[in-house]
Amino acid sequence: MTQKADRDQIRRQNRSVVLQALRRKGPQARIDLGRITELSPATVTSITSDLIAEGLVVGADEPGQREREKGVRGRPRSLLALHGAAASVLAIKLSVNTIELALADYGGTLVARGATGFDSVAVTADAFGQTLVAAVRAFLAEHDVRQPSVIAIASQGVVDDSAGTVAWSPAFAVGHVPVVAPLRDAFGVTCMLSNDTNMIAEALHRIDPVRYGGTFAVLFVDYGVGMGLFVNNRLFVGETGAAAEIGHASHIPGGALCRCGRRGCLEAYLGDYALRRHALRLDPQTPPSTIPVARETIRDLIKDAENGDAGALDAFRAGGTALGYAFARVIATLDPRRIVVTGAASNAFPLMREAALAALDEALVADLRGDVEIEAIAWEEDLILRGTIARALHSLDTEVFAETGVSVLPVSMAGQV
């Protein structure tokens, strides 16, 4: 029995490896799958035969195959690809006053997008679950989807994925908002919850696993400050999913007032409201709720700084100092090979770089810094949803469809399936 269990476990692992190789590399011939996965030709043939029979993998044309069939010499290879119609995943992004939804097929192709509003200030914890379920039902009905295979949620703030709740977030006036249980009860499928910055790290890793691989950190500087971590090529979320919440770790004890109600958080020096508060030379204890901010806040501050505004320049210098100390903590703790700065403030990194590097030099001895690379990348809001979709598909590859003989959930996707 033990030997059979071991064989079953190995087969599940090998199926998962093949599925992930096709997802990462695209359509492949069996011989190439063997090279990529380091599995024997017999194992690849056996596994892919099962995957084809189960409707998870289909044949695909090699680029140029049709031309060769018209008389050009050379025998086309038989390629295999993930079957988009095998499953669907629903990604949900929760932010202030907004629920964004994105539907993708099993091949990772985006099928539909939508958004709906809610009142972040007035909604209660229990009522939001009903609001979320109603939004999902309406979205699925609009796009003729009976039921997604997996639902993945990304939220601003501190999440507790073990409880399936958003513990604290600027998206809600209340805490400990249940989001997983209402969706799971309504749709009867696997639901998972993540912090939105973790999903940025997930997206970067899926887009370029060589550059964004191994151990690296993403610092998101925007309406708030968040961090996503990859450790040894795996997303690190900690025991409850709240790992890497660096934005609400203390930068200066008893310092500036943070949106979370505490004083001295890193976010209170780097978030959009914090930068505006500093630029306007307001008292550091000015409540964030009284400081007018919008999507354009950081962009406007960058323009002011580039035009020589002293307040804006000083705000970015102070923010750069806070950022440099954050770099030091991350490097000393994790020894990453790369730190990525993104979010709306990534365009301000040239204004913060000098102060950030000076603070890093002051906070960390050179021997500990090593060869870590620090880069700022232009912010793309779609990174959060792309990472959330990637996490849902990874769950299907490694957990649901790693089992032999799975039954593919019938779906309908408005002409896609």
| Chain mean pLDDT for the chain | 91
The pLDDT value given to residue 68: 46
Query: How is domain 210-376 classified at the architecture level of CATH?
Result: 2-Layer Sandwich (3.30)
Rounded CA Rg of the chain: 24
Q: Would you list the DSSP string of 349-388?
A: HHHHHHHHHHHHHHHS-HHHHTT-EEEE----THHHHHHH
Identify which of 278, 287, 410, 400 has the alpha carbon closest to the alpha carbon of residue 351: 278
The pLDDT value given to residue 411: 47
Q: Where in the chain is the domain with CATH 3.30.420.40?
A: 87-200+382-400, 210-376
Q: Is 92 left (phi over 0), alpha (psi -120 to 50) or beta?
A: beta
Q: How far apart (Å, rounded) are the C-alpha atoms in residues 258 and 322?
A: 14
pLDDT at 69 over 70: no
The pLDDT value given to residue 6: 76
- Please answer whether residues 59 and 48 qualify as being in contact, where contact means their C-beta atoms are separated by less than 8 angstroms: no
Lowest mean pLDDT among 50-59, 98-107, 233-242: 233-242
Fold of 2-82: Arc Repressor Mutant, subunit A (1.10.10)
Q: How far apart (Å, rounded) are the C-alpha atoms in residues 213 and 209?
A: 5
Q: Where in the chain is the domain with CATH 1.10.10.10?
A: 2-82
pLDDT tens for each residue of 120-158:
999 999 999 999 999 999 999 999 998 999 999 999 999
Rounded to 5, what percent of the chain is helix, strand, coil?
A: 45, 20, 35
- Per DSSP (E only), the strands in 125-248 are 150-155, 158-160, 165-168, 177-178, 190-195, 216-221, 225-231, 234-236
pLDDT tens for each residue of 317-340:
999 999 999 999 999 999 999 999
Beta partners for residue 112, in sequence order: 103
CATH match of 87-200+382-400 with 1.20.58.1000: no
The pLDDT value given to residue 73: 54
Identify which of 231, 258, 228, 251 has the alpha carbon closest to the alpha carbon of residue 241: 228
Tokens 């703030």 -> residue: 157
pLDDT tens for each residue of 163-186:
999 999 989 999 999 999 999 999
pLDDT tens for each residue of 98-110:
999 999 999 999 9
Q: What is the largest CA-CA distance in the chain?
A: 77
Q: Residue range 256-266: average pLDDT?
A: 96
Residue 8's pLDDT band (cuts 50, 70, 90): confident
The pLDDT value given to residue 64: 52
Q: How far apart (Å, rounded) are the C-alpha atoms in residues 305 and 248?
A: 26
